[in-house]
Amino acid sequence: MPEPTVLYVLNGPNLNLLGAREPDIYGHETLADVQALCERAADGAAVVFRQTNHEGELVDQVQEAREKASALIINAAGYTHTSVALLDALKTLAIPIVEVHLSNPAARERFRHRSYVSPVAAGVVSGFGSFSYELAVKAALKLARERSQERAGAAGRSV
């Protein structure tokens, strides 16, 4: 029997202020709206949705995903551009990672052009507002299910 698909959606600093903080950049939807969108897009997969303003807590959540998740979707927010500790934690994952952003960092300030998440991510979805999350969930779900099928096939061949 296939293992259940569990998607971790982790969000970094200030995303708890969605809808109120710079709505011209990040939109008017709240983080609760984004969570509901992710859960609808998950096609029956379990969604663990979290937000933290603390770098170490985000690292802890990534380490938890290492043991419990089928795939990880991460909007590290400001830590995307600054956190080597987060990169090191992400490097320990053997599951698909999808980087997501509401805005397009490449079209913003120069310091946002560098991502410490991108080198370990299967892909990046950005610039589509909350729809970026829906696309990221669909991509992560596809990658997780493909990985599960490959593992099942490999297990069947080794019997």
* Ordered strands of the 123-126 beta sheet: 46-51, 6-11, 71-75, 97-101, 123-126
The per-residue b/e assignment along 116-154, b for 16 or more CB within 10 angstroms, e otherwise, is bbeebbeebbbebbbebbbbbbebbbebbbebbeeeeee
Annotated active-site residue 8? The verdict is: no
Annotated active-site residue 81? The verdict is: no
Catalytic residue among 79, 101, 116, 133: 101
Burial of 53 (0-12, 13-18, 19+ CB in 10 A): middle
Catalytic residue among 26, 79, 116, 133: 26
Q: Known catalytic residues?
A: 26, 101
